[in-house]
Structure 1
Amino acid sequence: MRIAIFSDTYAPEINGVARTLKRYTDFLEKRGIEYKLFVPESSTPFPAVPQVQRFTSIPFVLYPECRIALPNPIHIRQTLDEFQPTLIHITTPFNLGLFGHHYGRKHQIPMVASYHTNFDEYLDYYHLTFMEKWIWKYMNWFHRPFEKVFVPSKHTKDKLLKKELHSNIDIWGRGVDHTFFSPTKRSNKIREKHNIKEKNILLFVGRIAPEKDIHIVLETFHALPENVKKETHLLVVGDGPQLKPLSEANHKQITFTGFMEGEELAEVYASCDAFIFPSPTETFGNVVLEAQASSIPVIGAKAGGVQNLIEDGINGYLCSEKNVEEFVRSTTILLEDKVLRKSMGERAREFANCQSWDNIFNQLLHSCLSVQERIKRHTA
């Protein structure tokens, strides 16, 4: 099996697609499976490896962390001709994805796609709803030739089936390293660093951007009952276009840390008491799973892929999207009841322990192999 992968985002970029793809290529290397990866150049220096080819790129207007490559078609074609892929996997439907799309069709190579981002749901946040009809026309055309389309969650699968994007849609879930994100990493470091005196810490981790409904986080915190609010500190972790204006405002008992990763981020998760994530646009919600692995109950939106991770009333709470009253009620219940918080956190950790990356990638690989074998039988 030789896989050619096309993506408009990859490590060291910081987003769910890039990190998942890096884990996937690490898995392929561990399994001894050959691959070539075609991605945009990174805005951050990253060690070059022969399997990864990078191309000049510009930021994508709706999502600057996702870059639009300006590929060299002759160079890509020569590389593919030499590599002779047995499968093409396209993870984003833009410039590089279009080239892989064209090459696969021309050479009759089996192709699969993965759908990671609900760009259509971002349009309302950026006043571009007039584009929705054309985006779906393009997406339906783009995905037509694929043997299979992979999605991160059941909700996303149901949505794409309703949109008639493809008839063969499989779930390719996400995993979490539950030894790295662990309640054993709880410490007082974050309290000492930011001089947090309040009894409870309410946490948000994610891109500080409109489509994450960060305003719901702030409105929820400010609307907490006074007796709960005075004992709670809100910690907002992440970078994005709204970080500067929000962090410069005078928010009492709110700390904006900016971007965090690695051990520091794992310690922050483990050292907080509840996690709030109102984003309704997620296809999955990686940060929710990281919080759950850290034994933190999550208050999330009953929308997108997040609702497939939270069992309402068992390991967290689901609230109607943009409904501040429901978010306030659920957050208050958790912050007032330490015993309930601990019980839900344990259930969250149990769920996260079952989400193994190796199992998920093995299932993906098996599905890709079945596509190859089916095509072989049909062409024999």
Structure 2
Amino acid sequence: MKIAIFTDTYFPQVNGVAQTLKRLSNHLEKKQISYQVYSPENKSSTTYPNINQFPSLPFFVYPECRTVITNPRKIENNLKQFKPDLIHLATPYMMGLYGLFAAKKLNIPVVSSYHTNFDQYLKYYHASLLEPFLWKYLKWFHQSTERIFVPSNETQRKLESLDFRELKVWGRGIDSKLFTPNIDAKEQIRRKYHIRENHILLYVGRLAPEKDLATLNDIVDKLPSNIKESVHWLIVGDGPNKEAWREKEKSQQNITLTGYIKGDDLARIYAGADLFVFPSYTETFGNVVLEAMACGTPAIVANEGGVKDFVIDHINGRICKKQNAESFLQAISELLFDEKMRGSMGREARIYALTQSWDTIFDGLLCEYCEVLQTRQGLNKKYA
């Protein structure tokens, strides 16, 4: 089996789609499955085997996705040489369009995946009027493919309500050896970031409006004084709202912005935090939430989005009303004052994470690829 992957974002970019696709390509290598990735070129691009990069510009809604400008014939010629059995369109924008048109022209089976709720992003970028046109486009794009992979049951239900067909859940896994509990982590990060407060509250993610940072800001500001004095916030990430949070960091002693962090350093921060606070309700999955859980840190999340697939309220975390700071404040207060409950939720979170291996997730995707190919072969024989 040969697989061609078309995506508007790829490693080393730091977002869920890019990281997942890099893991997928690693898995294909491990399984000795030939693949080629077609992606935009940008200032952080690195040369990798099997990666075909094209000149690009940042996409206005989500700069980490790039708009590729190239000659379609160049892509077609490359595909003719590679001769893929199947094309996977990981994103629905320019790179995805190039892949779709090439697949149709060359009669190659094609599947797609839905990763991001861009419809919910539009209001944060004052572009809500575009939503009907966006859905019309997304439906045309995805229904032009033979299978649509979604990261969670919640996302599947959403798209089914909009009459999308041929949906299959392709979940996300976790490296539970990297992201693991660490009893020394709290003291290590306290020393590194000069933290004196008793408790550490953590946010990891893009510093952008669509992550509902407005609610996070309210949570930080409205913590009761007896709690505020005993907690320190670690804000991990980067994005367009970084400067606003830098100003907040300057005005409040109990906030530290770290910028982007990855690998062992990130795992140590997860493991050293008392609670992971993540108010975003636009997630189709929520990779960072599963990472925190794998480190034994209970997550407090919103009651909308893909995180509901694996955060079980009062068992391995807390689910709060979206855009409701008071709901989050109550959950934070309860868990900080109840160490026994916090420990129990952390253990349950870790137990769940251990069941979500990347190998199992990707092997399931490969089985889906095979089913698509078998169905296409069956149709070809039927109409031969």
User: Normalising by structure 1, what TM-score?
Assistant: 0.97
Shift of 1:46: 1.4
Shift of 1:45: 4.2
- 1:322 maps to a residue whose letter is Q
The question of whether the paired residues in 1 share the 8 Å contact of 2:152 and 2:309 is answered with yes
- 1:13 maps to a residue whose letter is Q
The question of whether the paired residues in 1 share the 8 Å contact of 2:186 and 2:273 is answered with no
- 2:320 maps to a residue whose letter is C
CA distance in 2, matches of 1:32, 1:75: 26
Query: Counterpart of 2:245?
Result: 246
Shift of 1:262: 1.4
SS of 2:244's partner is: helix
The question of whether the paired residues in 1 share the 8 Å contact of 2:180 and 2:296 is answered with yes
Query: Counterpart of 1:75?
Result: 74
Asked if residue 264 in structure 1 is aligned to residue 261 in structure 2, the reply is no
Shift of 1:256: 1.2
CA distance in 2, matches of 1:130, 1:45: 34
Query: Counterpart of 1:171?
Result: 169
Shift of 1:187: 4.0
The question of whether the paired residues in 2 share the 8 Å contact of 1:116 and 1:151 is answered with yes
- 2:335 maps to a residue whose letter is L
The question of whether the paired residues in 2 share the 8 Å contact of 1:9 and 1:67 is answered with yes
Query: Counterpart of 2:331?
Result: 330
Query: Counterpart of 1:40?
Result: 40
Structure 1 spans left out of the alignment, 5+ residues: none
Query: Counterpart of 1:312?
Result: 313
CA distance in 2, matches of 1:214, 1:131: 23
Asked if residue 159 in structure 1 is aligned to residue 158 in structure 2, the reply is yes
Deviates more, 1:147-156 or 1:243-252: 243-252
The question of whether the paired residues in 2 share the 8 Å contact of 1:13 and 1:42 is answered with no
Shift of 1:97: 0.9
Aligned residues: 378
The question of whether the paired residues in 1 share the 8 Å contact of 2:236 and 2:257 is answered with yes
Structure 2 spans left out of the alignment, 5+ residues: none
- 1:10 maps to a residue whose letter is Y
The question of whether the paired residues in 2 share the 8 Å contact of 1:12 and 1:42 is answered with no
CA distance in 1, matches of 2:168, 2:118: 20
CA distance in 2, matches of 1:66, 1:143: 18
SS of 1:183's partner is: coil
User: Normalising by structure 2, what TM-score?
Assistant: 0.96
- 1:30 maps to a residue whose letter is K
> How do 1:336-375 and structure 2 match up within 5 A?
336-375=337-376
SS of 2:203's partner is: strand
- 1:256 maps to a residue whose letter is L
Asked if residue 120 in structure 1 is aligned to residue 101 in structure 2, the reply is no
- 1:55 maps to a residue whose letter is F
Identity of aligned residues (%): 46
- 1:5 maps to a residue whose letter is I
Asked if residue 89 in structure 1 is aligned to residue 93 in structure 2, the reply is no
For residues 145-200 of structure 1, what are the alpha-carbon distances to aligned partners after superposition, in whole Å with 9 as ceiling and x for unaligned?
211100000010011111113x1100000001011011126242221122111110
Asked if residue 130 in structure 1 is aligned to residue 129 in structure 2, the reply is yes
- 1:9 maps to a residue whose letter is T
CA distance in 2, matches of 1:265, 1:48: 24
Computed over aligned residues only, the root mean square deviation of the Cα atoms, in angstroms, reads 1.1
The question of whether the paired residues in 2 share the 8 Å contact of 1:117 and 1:282 is answered with yes
Shift of 1:252: 3.0
Asked if residue 182 in structure 1 is aligned to residue 183 in structure 2, the reply is no
Shift of 1:251: 2.2
CA distance in 2, matches of 1:275, 1:39: 33
